[in-house]
Structures are given as structure tokens and as C-alpha cells.
Amino acid sequence: MSPVVVLVGPPGSGKSTIAAVLSERLGVSHRDTDADIEAAAGKPISDIFVDEGEAHFRKLERAAIVVALQDDGAVLSLGGGAILDPETRADLAAHHVVYLEVSLGEAAKRVGLGVSRPLLLGNVRTQLRNLMEARRPLYDEVAKQTVVTDDKTPDQIADEILEQL
Ligand code: S3P
């Protein structure tokens, strides 16, 4: 057994929001690897990036994903960069992975200027565009289902996902 569904997508694609709606409607728990990493480290991800660097964060993320993929029956959301790891991409082949697709404009709007996303400091729109362009093929590679999220409510997105489960 494993999570019922795994949500991937760039920052601002709505992974946490949609995971919360799905877990509520399915009556199961919501697990988020970013939250797991923060709980284990005892500090926010932005501090992990500053104190230990991105490479260290990616190691923690990989370890958190290995554990979370064994969580039976949960809705699992992954950090936007989780799919950078080839082993993670290989592991995801065994799961119902949903890629939440979002336009650059909509993602930039949703992410805003919050300081909680260390890779998006500076010009948010430029950083996001680079990151989305580089990662799109990787999201496509792992996705069993792709849902375009612009102009849809969280409930409509959840409906689309639930139809395929
Ligand atoms: C990251 C996205 C973040 C978090 C970390 C790195 C990324 O998660 O895992 O800051 O590389 O895109 P969200 O996608 O939930 O913002």
C-alpha cells in the first residue's frame, strides 16, 4: 500500500490547498514532506536553506519522501523541487501522481512575495519562470494525471482528481 495520491507541481500550483480538500473529501490524512522536514529539523525550510544550504535540504527531502511514500492511504504533497531527484522520479512510477499545472502569471500571483520560499527571493517572476521551464519535463515524466489549475476552484480540481482515483 501507499499514498492514495501524490501531488506535484511548482510553487504556487496549489499542492497544499488541493491536498487539504482531497484529504477532507476522502476522509484520510494529509501528509506534506515540507512539513515533515520542518518538524524533524525544528525550523522552517527557509532557515534550513540559509543555515545548511540547498544540497543539504535536498538530502533531507529525499529521506522524507522515502518515508512518506510508505504512508498508507494518505494524500501526499511534495515540495516543488522533489522531482529533481532521479531516485524520487523512479519511485513515483509506482504511484498515482497528479501534476498540478499552472501558468507563470497565476503561480506568481499565488506565491506573492512571501519570504518562506528561499528559491524565489529576488525577482519572483523570473525565478519562477526559470524553475518552471526547467522542471516541466520532469513533472510530465512522473505524472499519471495532469490537471490545469488556472481558473478552477479547489473543489473543481479535486473533482477531476477524484474521478481518476
Ligand atoms: C522548493 C519548493 C518549496 C520547498 C523548498 C524548495 C522548490 O515547496 O520544498 O522551498 O525547489 O521548488 P513548495 O513547492 O510547496 O513551495
pLDDT band at 118 (very low <50, low <70, confident <90, very high): low
Going across the sheet that includes 75-77, the strands are: 30-32, 75-77, 5-8, 97-101, 145-148
103-130 mean pLDDT: 78
Mention the CATH class of domain 5-164: alpha beta
- Ligand 1 site, residue 9, Cβ cutoff 6 A: no
Quick one: cell of 115?
519570504
ipTM of the complex: 0.98
User: Does 138 score more than 90 pLDDT?
Assistant: yes
pLDDT band at 116 (very low <50, low <70, confident <90, very high): low
Q: Which is nearest to 28 in space by CA: 90, 64, 77?
A: 77
The reported pTM is 0.94
Kind plus residue range of the DSSP H or E element containing 97: strand 97-101
- Ligand 1 site, residue 117, Cβ cutoff 6 A: yes
Q: What ranges do the domains of the chain cover?
A: 5-164
78-94 mean pLDDT: 98
User: Does 127 score more than 70 pLDDT?
Assistant: yes
**Most informative mutation of 16, 113, 119, 132 for ligand 1 (most atoms within 8 A of CB):** 119
Q: Cell 532557515 sits at which residue? A: 47
User: Does 115 score more than 60 pLDDT?
Assistant: no
| pLDDT of the residue at 126 | 87
